[in-house]
Amino acid sequence: KAGVTQTPRYLIKTRGQQVTLSCSPISGHRSVSWYQQTPGQGLQFLFEYFSETQRNKGNFPGRFSGRQFSNSRSEMNVSTLELGDSALYLCASSLLGGQGNYGYTFGSGTRLTVV
Amino acid sequence: GDSVTQMEGPVTLSEEAFLTINCTYTATGYPSLFWYVQYPGEGLQLLLKATKADDKGSNKGFEATYRKETTSFHLEKGSVQVSDSAVYFCALSVDFGNEKLTFGTGTRLTIIP
């Protein structure tokens, strides 16, 4: 079966611009989570969506937002980009959420570079 | 809050050596524990998991046992291969409506022939 698909794979943006990243979860999965990975901070949780509702949110400024559509596809948006937003953004899908038995499947990520 | 403390890297071993990567955790409630692996240029892959105390997760020759008394989930492999070179992340997920993964800092493993 198809895995988690993230688009685009690579992105270069200028400081102050905004960006939208896309994630298509595994068919049937209803939970989509987003993580930011940087060399300095490691892997940090951004937010989780389940059935179009944000269920959990990490400690990121309001410039980071997301949404989930009725087909479970998710997008995250970062407005007013800063150099520190350069990172690998990972999406993970799960059948119902990380309730142990189900686990998460990650996509390959979108590498965002802000210049 | 919840946290994962992972063995500092990088770790370099010769092929066929024994591997241990230490992981301890602090969590409210009863977490599920995971090991993820990241190969160069790729996302994370679930390596193994354990959902309750004394459970042993295993996959591809890797093993880890959920030790509640020592709050640990150490990763082991009896004989490593060059293809095991990657970054390994220990993580936890706590139930009760808090479905996020909390990760350790990662351990870079390099296996030399």
Each residue's pLDDT tens digit, A52-67: 999 889 999 999 999 9
Q: How many whole angstroms separate alpha carbon B70 and alpha carbon B52?
A: 14
On the question of pLDDT at B97 being above 60, the answer is no
Residue numbers in chain A where pLDDT is lower than 50: 100
Task: Closest CB to B43: pick one of A33, A100, A107.
Answer: A107
Closest-CA residue of B relative to A33 is B100
Residue-wise pLDDT for A87-99, tens only, equals 999 999 987 655 5
Percent of chain B with pLDDT over 90: 78
Q: Are A94 and A105 in contact (CB under 8 A)?
A: yes
Question: Mutating which of B38, B100, B108 best tests the A interface, going by the most A Cβ atoms within 10 A?
Answer: B100
- Contact (CB<8Å) B46/A56: no
Residue whose pair of structure tokens reads 């479905």 in the numeric block: B99
Per-chain mean pLDDT for chain B? 92
